[in-house]
Amino acid sequence: DYDRALELRRNFPEALNNRGVAYDKLKRYDEALADYNRALELRPNYPDALNNRGSIYDELKRYDEALADYNKALQLRPDYPEALMNRGATYDKLERHDEALADLNRALKLRPDYPKALNNRGVFYMKVGRYEEALADYKKALDLQPGFREAFYNMACLFSLMRKPDDAISYLEKSIRLDEKNRALAATDSDFDNIHDDPRFRRLVEEA
């Protein structure tokens, strides 16, 4: 019947957006982008699809397009922590540090217990040498989400930069147990230069 057909039609952008998220998680970015584009053709003012497409553009290093999508999503939904966090991450990659920190702070004001935003702000603080603030953010992220792989890895990086080799090795071991790909990542990560010659580090990154 027509009512049912109309109901299905209205829900179609959500289905496309949700499938795009699934493709994104599988790193099938072209397919995710196609779904987000189609969802936004059907509903141009769709904040979730704009935010999600922005994250794909960011992944593809199409930063101007990412910012345009985040900006529009935030015009439509000003108190949108995910879009603020994502825009902050893009600003950080563009070295627009003040804007990055402002967005991350605002995201965390809206949602204080947001592990991913805490981790991202920790990365920002670590990059600019504000190590104690980075440490506090990473610790809180791990308190909220004890199996947070990225936060374990970032803690290892931070402790290396702080010249605390025992802690760096401990967190790196944990991060590798959670995600084997961190072994190869650490081998070439300049954050570990301070412990690069430590035999424990060499064993960790060279194990098959």
Please give the model's pTM, rounded to 2 decimal places.
0.86
**Distant-in-sequence, close-in-space partners of 105: CB < 8 Å, separation ≥ 6:** 121
Walk me through the domains of the chain, giving residue ranges and CATH numbers.
1-112 (1.25.40.10), 138-208 (1.25.40)
Write the pLDDT tens digit of every residue in 46-105.
999 999 999 999 999 999 999 999 999 999 999 999 999 999 999 999 999 999 999 999
- Whether the pLDDT of residue 208 is over 50: the answer is no
Write the pLDDT tens digit of every residue in 130-171.
999 999 999 999 999 999 999 999 999 999 999 999 999 999
CA angle 126, 120, 53 (to 5 degrees): 140
Question: Residue 142's closest CA among 156, 152, 131, 153?
Answer: 152
- Whether the pLDDT of residue 3 is over 60: the answer is no
Rounded CA separation 130/123 (Å): 10
Rounded CA separation 135/143 (Å): 12
Write the pLDDT tens digit of every residue in 24-44.
999 999 999 999 999 999 999
